[in-house]
Amino acid sequence: MKFTIQVNEGPYTHQASDTAYNFATAALAAGHEIYRVFFYHDGVNNATRLTTPPQDDRNVINRWSELAAKHSLDLVVCVAAAQRRGIADADEARRNGKNADNIAPGFRISGLGQLIEGGIQADRLVVFGD
């Protein structure tokens, strides 16, 4: 089965990101395909490389980046939600007159069309968070 996953909550304020990550790893281990992971609303906070959790805590952002690298996952961050929350890649930072970017490895910024396409291409769209 082919899944698109939508994550709507931040990494440390709600269990949705952890649950989505665990779902993705279990689905991949069971031989399923992840077409795309789309981060929306506060879920875009999963994409900032500036998050620095305590050493004895899990690093949610690094886990997503490592999973994407291992399985060639497409991690897409909603551009509008990202701009509202200060998440930017180099192109968005430049376009908006910012002097720095903060997107984590493996993530990319794009629009809602990527979510729609993911829903069309996948057998199931699974949403985590409100």
Token pair 């490592």: residue: 66
Question: On the CB side of 87, how many CA atoms lie within 13 Å of its CA?
Answer: 28
Amino acid at 24: A
d(CA 72, CA 38): 14
CATH 3.40.1260.10 fits domain 2-128: yes
Indicate which residues carry an active-site annotation: 78
pTM of this prediction? 0.96
Spell out the per-residue pLDDT of the chain, length 130, in tens: 999 999 999 999 999 999 999 999 999 999 999 999 999 999 999 999 999 999 999 999 999 999 999 999 999 999 999 999 999 999 999 999 999 999 999 999 999 999 999 999 999 999 999 8
Nearest to 5 by CA among 45, 14, 18: 18
The pLDDT, as a whole number, for residue 92 is 94
Is the CB of residue 77 less than 8 Å from the CB of residue 44?
A: yes
Domain regions of the chain by residue span: 2-128
